[in-house]
Every structure is written in structure tokens, then in C-alpha cells.
Chain A
């Protein structure tokens, strides 16, 4: 508990314990290091069935993002964090729409496009 908060007093409903401790940062660091090394290992190993590697990398990346959110950005289910969680949910929704929407649309356009040599012939 910091002396600063005691000196200034705490307003009702203020949770000063959302900032984590040195231990929680170190726990977050160790998780993040394990997940980072795991994804570097997974990308260069022959042990895993190759078509499964991208999915594994995706899972490891999302897990590490979650670790960062919880241990470093201190996103939690505390009452004063409700708005942050809602904003985060909307952010993830928009990011998903942008990334997967673009990829699906561009793949579809690519698929429907006339092959380049045929296109050249028509322009002659």
C-alpha cells in the first residue's frame, strides 16, 4: 500500500490495488517469455504436423496478448474496469472485422479475377 494514497485519502469506490505488484509483473514476464520461446520454437521445429503450425502460432500469440492485458495493462473484472472491458470487446470486434473481412474479400476477388495472360490477350 503506497503512502501517497494514504496521505491523500481514498475516495469511495476507488480500488488502489489495480496496479499489481513486483511479483505480478515477474509472473507476467515469465509467462510471456515461455510463450514467446514456444512460438519461436514452434515455427522452426519438425516435431509438429506442419499445417497445424500457423494455428499453434495464432493460439500462442493470443495467449500472450491475454497475459499482457492481465499482468501488464491490469485489465480485470473489477467494477471500475467495466467500461474498459466493454471498450476492449468492441475493439476486438472491429479488429476481427477489419483483418478477417479484408482477407476474405481480397481472397474472393483474387479467385474471381481473370488470369493475367487472358487479360493481356483481351487488351490487344
Chain B
């Protein structure tokens, strides 16, 4: 490590200082309005994003940028994810505004916690060492637990936080145990060192146990079945902007470390773990999509649907090829855009007298707000993977990668379950277009509309003209997956 390395940490440092500032700001001055908290947060995110871009440009050779005793890497993979995280948190910030307008809860701590969670996520994106990854993960998780229970006088919210916390710590313990086993066998926690050590190893039980416990812990974080049971309860109970955060940014961060650990560190044992993860993926797609059919509460429906999407994302990791990694990256973007858009729509309905949590609340939306109804249809089609929305491109990459790597049966389950998923996405479309509406007005809040429009633009633009995204993704994917060589026909 040299002192020059510090320049690569500037985004994280700025964010940490900013998060502290958000925390102490209201103590210093008189209590300021929610509005100014929001704009400070947005400003902070903008500066961080600029710092991420600038610091990545100071890296002349990504291969040389393994910093701080090889714990932290600035490469095009991490930059890609960092920018996604920042954008997603910015959307969540914009969505949260109205939630705090006449609330008893201070927005300052809220935004501060969000910033800390983001900081953890940035470390996760850059972590190439199990300890730095773990610390980042915990920073994000601890902040999320508190945020889930932010409505502390509301029983549902507290309960959600409690459940999330207890189960989250259990999963962390399992994750750590897995890491320690790997360390015991390989003698290192750095992913590249682990990879090097593994290339000389043959399968042994301790190592397998380590890998599988690690996988189990990560599956919890991305909410894949059978480690998904917390998801519906927590998503339902948490304040809606936080649910949006958990189902998008937080999930994406977990996917980022999942991908990096397995692609860089554990690729030699692909034959051993791919079947286990394939089972998890199949189970997630089946359980998530089937259970979502009977949900009337939209937060629960989306929770189950997000379990299904975790299953699709796992296809990319299982494929263990550049194509698979591209799929993970593309799908993360399109899934985040569509999901954030839907949450914005849910929040938009929550503004007014009725909650927007039930499917019926969407009834007749197209007469009240043609824009939101149209946007919702596009988001839902994107999640269902129907062209010309971006979701189709994402699914195409994931499924094609699975087929290429010999997991044809998994791809068939995936296509089938996408068909099933349209079943419940459609219920919302039916409610919006084919049912008599209620007369209530919808929110005209500018920031929500902005989030909706931005997500719609991304969903449509990358569906119709995906090339810019694909070019970026190819560079980023190559970085992590360059050495990953799929074992031919691993799935057979």
C-alpha cells in the first residue's frame, strides 16, 4: 500500500463524512425541513458519483489497482456497480420525500443511515477480500435493519426490523463460518489467492462445506429460496421507500459480491457448486412466482416476485461464463429500473387517503393518470421479460448463458416461470385498464414523477436500443469473468 492509494477511496471517504454531517447537521442548527435534508442527500450522492468516476479515471491500469494489501479493487466491474447503487439510492431518496412530509420521524437520521448503507455497498462492490466484503456487507445490513424499523411506533415496522435483524445475523454467522472454513483450507482470504490455492486442490469436505455455507449466507441476502422466508414479512412491514431500497439496491449489492466471489474465487469448483445453486435457482423461480399468484397485497406480491428474480439472476452466476456475467449486469440494471418504477407508483398511490398496497387500489388508474398507468404496464412487461422492454434483453442474456453452459433444463424452467409471472403482473394491468376506477386524485409530487419518468426512460431506452448498455457491460463483465471458463455441459 502506498499513500497514493488513498485517492481511490475518496468516494467512500466523502460519503462517510457526508453521512456523519447529515447526522449532526440538525443538532448544530435549528431543525431544518425535510426538503433540505433531501437536497443535501442528493448533493452528497452527486458528489460521490463524480468522485467515483474521477477516481476510476485516475486508475491507469485496473490490474494494478489492488489496494490496501489487496483488499480493495477499483476496476470497471466495481465502478459499474457503484454507479448503479448511487443511482438507486438517489431514486429511493427522491421517493422518500413525501413520506416524511408530515411524519413524526426525522429525515436526517434516515438519510444518514441510507448514506451509511450505500457506503457499505460501495465497499462490497470493490471488495476482493472476504473480510472487506464482509465488513461492507455488515455496514449495509446493520443500516438496513434500523431503516426497516424506522417507523418505530408502528408495530408492523418494528416487527419487520426484528425479524430481519434476527435472521440477518443468523445468516451472517453462517456466512462467516463458511469464510473461516475456506480460510482454513486455502490459507488466505483474498479472492485471487483463494483461486490460486484452489487450483491445486482436489475436492474435500471442509472446503465444500465452506463454499456451501458461504453460498447459503449469500442466498439469504439476495432472498433466494429456501432462504427467502423473511422477505414477504420484511417487505410488507418496512416503510415503502425502504422496501424499495431492500428489493433493489441492497439486493444488487449482494448479487455483486455473490458474482465476484464465485467468479473470481471459487471458479475451480464450479462443477461442485453449480448443481446446488441450480437447485436454489429453480426453487426460487418456482416458489417465488407461484406464491405470488395468490397475493392481494402488492408489497407481498412484489416480495415473492423478487424471490423469483433472484432465481433468474442466479442463472448468470451458475453459467460461469462471460455471457452469464453480462446477463447478471444487464439484468441488474433492468430489474432495478422496473422495480424502482413500480415502487414509485405504489408510493404515488400511498400519498392519498388509500394505501396503494392492495391490487384494487390500482383500479382505473388509466383514467386518473394515463402516464402512471402506461409506465406501470411497461415496468410490469419488463419484469415479465416481454419485448421491446429492457427486461427482455436481460432475460435473453441470462437464459442464453444458461443454455450455452448446458443448463438447458434450468432455462426451460425460467421461461416457463416467466410465463407464470405474467399471470400476476397482469392482475395489476387488469385493475388499471379494465376496472372501474375510484375517483380519488393521484399524487402530483414532482420527485415521484421524476423517478417514474427516469425508470420508464431506462426501461424503454435499453429495450429499444440496448447497445450502449451492452458495450459497457461487456467491458465490466470481462474484468471479472475473463478467466472464468465454463466447464462444458456442467448442467448435464
Q: Verify that A and B bind, or say they do not.
A: no
Which residues of B are interface residues toward A (Cβ below 8 A)? none
